[in-house]
């Protein structure tokens, strides 16, 4: 029996998390959702993920905090930043911090 790839979605807007989760589950992924950096760090410490998608702006920090944490504590976990406030400075910062992609909201699932 093969296990499904797993994804953690970190976004404080439940409608966005649910939309992405439903579409990723249709693609065969197992998905967990978190609304804060602290909760995401806890989940990552206790579960295996193959991918993390995080919003840039979160109630207790920002996506760059999570990218840096993952880079130091869980190297090898690919992480992408999602934001409704896209700009080139944030994109460069995210990629330099270790994100593999920087996505503008609304997210296109393709």
Domains of the chain by residue range:
6-104
Helices then strands (H, E): number in the chain? Answer: 4, 7
Q: Which helix (H) or strand (E) holds 17?
A: helix 14-26
Task: Measure the CA–CA gap between 11 and 54, rounded to whole angstroms.
Answer: 6
- pLDDT band with cut points at 50, 70 and 90 for residue 95: confident
pLDDT at 108: 73
What pTM does this model have?
Answer: 0.91
pLDDT at 12: 95
Tokens of 31: 């998905």
Q: Tell me: the pLDDT tens digits for 42-84?
A: 999 999 999 999 999 999 999 999 999 999 999 899 999 998 8
User: Which CATH architecture fits 6-104?
Assistant: 3-Layer(aba) Sandwich (3.40)
């Amino acid at each position: 029996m093969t296990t499904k790839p797993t994804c953690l979605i970190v976004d404080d807007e439940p409608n966005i998390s649910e939309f992405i989760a439903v579409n990723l589950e249709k693609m065969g992924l197992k998905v967990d959702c978190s609304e804060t950096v602290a909760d995401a760090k806890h989940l990552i410490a206790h579960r295996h993920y193959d991918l993390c998608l995080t919003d840039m702006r979160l109630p207790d920090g920002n996506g760059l905090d999570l990218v840096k944490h993952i880079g130091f504590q869980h190297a090898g976990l690919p992480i992408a930043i999602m934001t409704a406030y896209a700009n080139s400075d944030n994109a460069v910062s995210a990629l330099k911090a270790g994100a593999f992609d920087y996505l503008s909201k609304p997210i296109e699932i393709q």
